Amino acid sequence: METRKVTGLIDEMIVEEGRKADWILLAQRGEHYHLTTGGLLGSTAGSVVRKSRTPVMVTPVAFREIESMGIAYDGSPPAEHALQMAAELSKTARWPLTTITVCDDASRAAELARRVEECLEPYEIDHEMIVLRGKADREIVRFIEEGSVELMVMGAHSHVRLRDLFLGSTTTHVIRNSPIPVFVIH
């Protein structure tokens, strides 16, 4: 482990230094969180998640030992990459993996389930697939709050990147409201 002191804008320096690392670990909210109103995701954490191409794990204040993990899967390229990373982590750590997808279209949900099973087959891991209906950001947070997993893995952006720009991304909403660490894969 190496400690470095750098100067510059905090988010930009974290992203720059993060390029030299396998992943970045950040607190969900920083030391000045109590000064903000509205309880927004820390500006540094949100900016790093958006700008970084390195995986970013955002952790809440409270620690919980990780014994199982979930992945939010929508079939997008970042979600595909996140699924592969989650499978590797599940196999290495021997954590059960629950894949959740939020989809109101039964045929689309079946296609996503097929893709997940195809990807995970070679890993021989303990896996479960859950299909939820509704608004993705709310359903993912609701799943997390049920306490079934202690780590959530997500792709950085959904299928509809333009929608994310105007309405806010599912990933940002989940990170902001999650009581467990969220590992964001680009």
What are the average pLDDT values for consecutive 10-residue runs of the chain, which has 186 residues?
85 91 85 47 76 92 93 94 97 97 96 97 96 96 96 78 54 91 94
pLDDT of residue 172: 85
Distances in Å between the Cα of 7 and the Cα atoms of 17, 32, 52, 100 are: 11, 19, 18, 40
Q: Domain 61-185 is of which CATH architecture?
A: 3-Layer(aba) Sandwich (3.40)
- Kindly tell me the sign of the dihedral angle through the C-alpha atoms of 146, 152, 156, 160: negative
d(CA 178, CA 123): 28
Distance, CA of 108 to CA of 132 (rounded, Å): 12
Pairing of strands 56-59, 182-185: antiparallel
- Two structure tokens written together for 88: 């590797």
Looking at residue 171, what is its pLDDT?
Answer: 87
Contact 51, 172 (CB under 8 A): no
Determine the pLDDT at residue 28. Answer: 84
Residue with tokens 């030391």: 31
Tell me the backbone φ, ψ of residue 27, rounded to 5 degrees: -75, 145
- With a CB cutoff of 8 Å and minimum separation 6, the contacts of 55 are 22, 23, 24, 85, 183, 184, 185, 186
Strands (E) in the chain, as ranges, are: 24-27, 56-59, 69-72, 97-102, 127-132, 151-155, 182-185
What's the pLDDT at 30? 59
Note the pLDDT of residue 161.
Answer: 52
Quick check: 115 and 82 in contact, CB under 8 A?
Answer: no
The pLDDT score that the predictor gives to residue 71 is 98
What letter represents residue 186's amino acid? H
Full-model pTM? 0.85
